Structure 1
């Protein structure tokens, strides 16, 4: 943490590299993730479009957007979608590096007239990963696993399943996680209430019945880390009288939540170089932060650990804590993968006979496979899907690892890595 309280983010390194060579960078992600604070540390001129006075002034004179000492930050640019085009034209006229930073908490319904391709580069910012949250220096980097050298692994942590349960509840939103438990619950409730009361309106999408949206979000939260169909999620959102929301209602919900960056699903992997048979195409469901899922389901860390949580009935393998732990690891791996210019998918066969939680792909068809297990020790049955994948991919499988709640990082004799979640970094 810096003297002013700023917690360094992994994305800082990416931004510093890009701003040295590119004229305009857009930082996108859910509200409260830290985009503005991160951008302010680099900006010399700031235009806040969520400030009514500044908005009115710039609406009257759009040229003001590109005036001032660079880097020029345009905060919440989506409130004035044409600001994207103003920046794009300014970059066409002068492509000097480090001129503009744009931050946005939503993809606007009314698109800019030009995509900005080749002029404005978009960087995704997510809630804080475990490496950014915990007082542990990671000893295993995703980059080293992607190297294909299968290095020896070391490292020890005293983080336990209790710590991970508490991290789920603390949230990865910087402004929320520093609060007390009571205030944190209120802040998360307020965050969720704002979605229906304000954020949907900002996208010109009216929520006729906030209770229906809340029920659908609860059902989606219950489906965390599963590939449940959206019809299954809709069924789980039914009232006690059996009335479920119409498909014509829930489809716009999903679209709007994606625009707000609140859904962060993991897409199915479909290899091109080494095709596998009968792979399913459904995504794995995740909210932007597993703390949102936990709050929607009304559970706390003690209830997660005791396995006494309720919520809508969605079939899953194992307890809710396991699903939320997988979601926390998935969030972290996505942050690390972005730093390594890699993509994250999951693998599942149609019948569910084989599945691998996370497939990290960099380059053309070469991957690292990760299984997430809510356990401190690894048993042979935890490895069967990784071994199956290794047999089929051969050298295209750069490395394979089980991410656990254990205390030591090491590599087994069969070559599979075992890594405590707290010891994995970028």
Structure 2
């Protein structure tokens, strides 16, 4: 563990263990759940690799709990019965910080499990943000922005081509220090495992690897957009028969259960005008690298198509905003007018504040000026008597320095943003 990179989730897990009996850490395979949990666990039960431990769940489950706490039950979904055993032990012992469960998929029979409310808290983990992987200075704090504080940072040295490489490589701990070529091979194998093994193992769809690959590619092409299910179905069908709506829903459900997608719901605030807003969620993968891997493109391809690159850059920014907002109790939504003429890429809401973010893959002042005007116009439409005034209006860029403009809008490069 000497090469462990500290995670924002470290403090979140420690905090949860102080006030609840057990904590479930869920997230996609390879995002670092086990490593983070192992930092605090005193005992580890690996249910994915230890056949003996799996057998004991049915034969003598009490022996698995006769260890020093906190006990980590890794990949708990392999033996869903452990959930009720953990819940029962928390009830009986009435202590805090007893157990940690990690899982990369919601089990098929999850509906049959008893609720863990009040006994088992949930912590979502994602691949690493730029500040966690060391690619952001973190000089600008999202928490400070949400508190209405002015934030500044020196001009960052990261170039647009380097940022595009970070999109393609992603925030996977296993890829820290790897070059783009190696990362793309790892991600190709990762998606093959998802298509060939993980999705079929959930039992929600019949084995159709080519259709699953087309579904992933369609989500990659439409990242950062509210793609309609009819359009997604047409992409999945290819030149063949379009799949039924139930099949499309099953694919999306499987990807959600594997924690591979991370969509932004539509924000529908009280407004001064009668603007009609979209209700469809905006589609994102849990890490931007999955979108480019599904399309088979690299950083040079993105550099040759900056319009498409802008959407993948937005996915990178939204991933980091989710990670930074989570310790604040924050959520991420998107705001779009029905006809698509007005939109805001991300709305961050915490229990007592909200802020709006526009994302631009540029340092061009004219583009930033236009984005700032759009944010100001958007904020003027919100009924502040019901929602309060925004804590911050922010244009997130790829390059440049960070500061607050004369019109009150913050400009922040993603490589300076942190929790």
> With structure 1 as the length reference, what TM-score do the two structures score?
0.92
CA distance, structure 2, for counterparts of residue 178 and residue 119 of structure 1: 39
| Runs of 5+ consecutive residues of structure 2 not aligned to the other structure | none
Deviation at 1:185, TM superposition (A): 2.0
CA distance, structure 2, for counterparts of residue 279 and residue 273 of structure 1: 10
CA distance, structure 1, for counterparts of residue 273 and residue 43 of structure 2: 50
- Show the counterpart of 1:21: 19
- Show the counterpart of 1:295: 293
Cα pair 1:65 1:74 within 8 Å, conserved: no
Deviation at 1:14, TM superposition (A): 1.0
CA distance, structure 1, for counterparts of residue 201 and residue 337 of structure 2: 39
Select the residue among 2, 8, 11 that pairs with 1:10: 8
Task: Tell me if 1:423 matches 2:410.
Answer: no
Give matches, 1:92-103, under 5 Å: 92-103=91-102
- Show the counterpart of 2:145: 145
Secondary structure of 2:355's aligned partner: strand
Q: For residues 99 and 158 of structure 1, do their structure 2 counterparts lie closer, same or farther at Cα, with a shift above 3 Å needed? A: same
Moved over 4 A (4+): 272-276
- Show the counterpart of 2:191: 192
- Show the counterpart of 1:406: 399
CA distance, structure 2, for counterparts of residue 224 and residue 193 of structure 1: 20
Q: Select the structure that is richer in helix.
A: 2
C-alpha distance after superposition, 1:92-116 (max 9, x if no partner)? 1122221100001011110243120
Give matches, 1:25-424, under 5 Å: 25-51=23-49, 52-111=51-110, 112-148=112-148, 150-239=149-238, 241=239, 243-271=241-269, 277-307=275-305, 319-363=307-351, 366-379=353-366, 380-393=369-382, 394=384, 395-424=388-417
CA distance, structure 1, for counterparts of residue 273 and residue 356 of structure 2: 16
Deviation at 1:61, TM superposition (A): 1.8
CA distance, structure 2, for counterparts of residue 168 and residue 305 of structure 1: 12
Deviation at 1:135, TM superposition (A): 4.2
Structure 1 stretch 408-417 or stretch 371-380: which is displaced more? 371-380
Deviation at 1:230, TM superposition (A): 1.7
Cα pair 1:72 1:101 within 8 Å, conserved: yes
Deviation at 1:208, TM superposition (A): 2.2
Q: For residues 53 and 178 of structure 1, do their structure 2 counterparts lie closer, same or farther at Cα, with a shift above 3 Å needed? A: farther
CA distance, structure 2, for counterparts of residue 182 and residue 193 of structure 1: 17
Structure 1 stretch 293-302 or stretch 52-61: which is displaced more? 52-61
CA distance, structure 2, for counterparts of residue 67 and residue 276 of structure 1: 61
C-alpha distance after superposition, 1:137-159 (max 9, x if no partner)? 211111111112x4142332101
RMSD over aligned CA atoms reads 1.9
Structure 1 stretch 243-252 or stretch 263-272: which is displaced more? 243-252
C-alpha distance after superposition, 1:230-277 (max 9, x if no partner)? 2112222342x3543333322211111111101110111122698974
